[in-house]
Each structure stands twice: as C-alpha cells, then as structure tokens.
Amino acid sequence: MALLHPGKPIRKGLYGVAVLYGLLVRFRLWCYRCGLFPTSRLPCRVVSVGNLTVGGTGKTPIVILLTEWLQAKGERVAVLSRGYKRTSTAPHLLVSNGLRLLVGPSEAGDEPFLIARRCPKAIVAVGTDRAALGRWVLEQCPVDCMVLDDGFQHRALRRDVDLLLLDATDATGLDAMLPAGRLREPLRGLERATTVVITRADSKEDVEAIRSRLQAIRLPFEEVIEVVFKPESVVSAQTEDRRSLEWCCGKKAWLVSGIGNSNSFRRSAASLGVEVLGETVFQDHHYYCADDVRQIRTNAQAVGADIVLTTEKDAGKLPPLLAPDDPWWALRLRAEVMRGEERLRRLVLGDGGKAT
C-alpha cells in the first residue's frame, strides 16, 4: 500500500487499519515508559533529529546544519543513521571516518552518503540498533557529540536533546495515523520533544496550520522554531563542479527526484527562475538503473531541455550511469533558521534542554 503523499487529505476508508496500528504503537511506547523495554545512554552528548510523520520533513539538511554548528565549536561529531534501503547487511558500517568516504551510496544508503559528503570531517555510521552503533563508533573514534538522524522513534537510546520536525506544507499528515494519514505515532508523542522545529516555514498560512494543531495539545508557542530550506548553488552530478543560482536563471530544465517531498523540490527549482519543461518523480530512496537514465535523457532531449535538475540525494547515486556530456545538475539546499535560532543553538551546543 502506497503511503499518503505530503499535503494530501487523509484517507478515511483506512481509519480502521490506522486504529489498529495506533494501538500497537501506543503499546510499544508504554513498554518503554514502564521500563519493560531497556534503554541505554552513551558516554557523550546525543542530539536527535526526527519527526512524527513518514519521511520528507527535511531531516537531512537539519542534520548537516547542526553538525556544522558543532564542528565550528571544535567538537568531534559522529552522525548515526539507520541507512534506510542500504544494500549492505553489516550490523554496523562506517560510511566516513572523518577523513574520507569509505563506501558508496548503495552500501551506505543515500541520506548517510549525502551527509558524509556535505560534512567531510564528521564520522558517519549506519546501523539499525543506534545504541549498539554508537558504542561501536566510540570503540574506534573519539567523539564529543552524536547526532541521530531520524531518531525520534528510536527509544532504546537516550538523548540529551530531542528535536522534532514538522513540515509546514503537510499539516493534514498530522490528522491521522498510518495508513490513513502520515503519523508514525500519535500527535501527543511530541510532548517527548525538547522542542519542535517547523520546517518549510516559508508561508505564514502553512505555519499557522501547524500551530493550530499544536495548540490542541497546549504546546507553548514560544518553544517552536521555524526553518526554511533555501537554494544555495547547483552542483554537477558528475564532477561536483559548482555554479551560482544565477547560472540557472532562464534555463530550460527537466526535473528528476526520488525523495519524500517532490512538491518541495519542484517549488525550490521554480524559485531559481528555470523554465520547467517536465518532470520524472520516483518513490523516496529510488535506486536508479540505466533504463531510468536513458528514459529521462530521451524525455529531456525531446522537449529541448538545457539541463536535467535533480536533488543532491539523488545525484549521489547517478555518476556511474551518466555519460560525460550529460548536463545533469543537483540543487544544493541550505537550512536557514528564521525563528528561534538562539534557542536552537543553545540546545544543540549544550547550554540548555532536557535529557530524555
């Protein structure tokens, strides 16, 4: 069964299944609260970045931003990720040792690989059991702070800061549990968060739609942080050669994405001033094959596109499939805190927050 796309109305016909799923999730959370399921703590600070809904809230650019902040402070940082849809079956895998990349996107998973490329001095490791993975990393490398990518539901590992991301463009996703809506767990789960971060907060109307749902559970508004994702540059999918955003303006583009929120990518691409002639959309974490690239190339040439524009996450998987003269470029985004930056810095850099 396909997941509900961000921003789409809930599927009322699946309420019954959603109720059953919700009961299972509540039982699991109860087991952790009562101590029936064990939890452990690592001998270093742990900052978790996660969400209540499935995919597409912008965790990766937030993880990159926080890692950069911590490293600017002089801290040794390790990013721990599940490595969703990675091909490697190793329980623990080092993607980067902070000096160089050790594996490719297929073995690592596309998001950890991107984080390792964007944060070359950070240790990046993947594994299903984040507590065991953290201990494994500490046996090999000195680390001051661990950043958990998609860690909110990973209750087995205790954390010092729990950041919960909510996508401003997906307010309806908060209205029902999977599969009727997009919630992984009940909305009340955000009470465990140290603070809430509203991402894609470009529109005041979208932000207010999220705030109205938070008001229903009496979350103080002053604790909410707002973030937007802004285009920074375009990067060659083959050589990592960079071009300014002005270089894109006026170009005819074919869009390609396999991410959790393709609508967000489309809006970002349009903001560059490119003329979008067509688009190919895949499921999140799509692994490309030669036929995919061949078909996209044919479509782009048929409509007279100057470039094929994709996401950085997708671009990491494409180089082996591209011809030397393929004009494929990736849009690089940066996270920018529009509201609450001082509070977020204080939490992440160790000056405030609650351990959970």
By the 10 Å C-beta count (0-12 exposed, 13-18 middle, 19+ buried), 4 is classed as buried
Percent of the chain with pLDDT over 90: 86
DSSP state of 157: B
**What average pLDDT does range 189-198 have in this prediction?**
92
Residues 333-342: pLDDT tens digits? Answer: 999 999 999 9
> What was the pLDDT predicted at 169?
94
Asked, colleague to colleague, whether 12-228+336-348 and 231-333 share their fold, the answer is yes
* CATH number, domain 12-228+336-348: 3.40.50.300
Q: What is the pTM of this model?
A: 0.94
Helix (H, G, I), strand (E, B) or coil at 203: coil
- Greater confidence, 211 or 8? 211
CATH number of 231-333: 3.40.50
Contact present, 280 and 299 (Cβ < 8 Å): yes
Euclidean distance between CA atoms 126 and 93, whole angstroms:
5
For the chain, the domains span 12-228+336-348, 231-333
Strands (E), the chain: 45-51, 77-81, 93-97, 123-126, 145-149, 161-167, 195-199, 224-236, 242-243, 252-257, 275-281, 307-311, 328-339
pLDDT at 301: 97
Q: Quick: pLDDT tens for 71-103.
A: 999 999 999 999 999 999 999 999 999 999 999
pLDDT of 55 reads: 77
pLDDT-derived band at 350, boundaries 50, 70, 90: confident
User: Both tokens of residue 166?
Assistant: 């909510």
- State how far the Cα of 208 lies from the Cα of 54, in Å rounded to an integer: 21
Secondary structure of residue 38 in the 3-state scheme: coil
**Are the C-beta atoms of 37 and 202 separated by less than 8 Å?**
no
What string of DSSP letters covers 209-257?
A: HHHHHHHTTT--GGGEEEEEEEEEEEEETTT--EE-HHHHTT-EEEEEE
pLDDT of 236-282, one tens digit each?
Answer: 999 989 999 999 999 999 999 999 899 999 999 999 999 999 999 99
Reported as a single tens digit per residue, the pLDDT across 12-38 is 889 899 999 999 999 999 999 999 999
Place of tokens 């190339």: 297
Q: Which residues pair with 94 in a beta bridge?
A: 125
State phi, psi for 20 to the nearest 5 degrees. Answer: -65, -45
Tell me the torsion sign for CA atoms 269, 200, 259, 316: positive
Does 108 have pLDDT greater than 80? Answer: yes
Those residues whose C-beta lies under 8 Å from the C-beta of residue 271, and which sit 6 or more positions away, are 231
| 274-323 pLDDT, tens digit each | 999 999 999 999 999 999 999 999 999 999 999 999 999 999 999 999 99
pLDDT at 99: 96
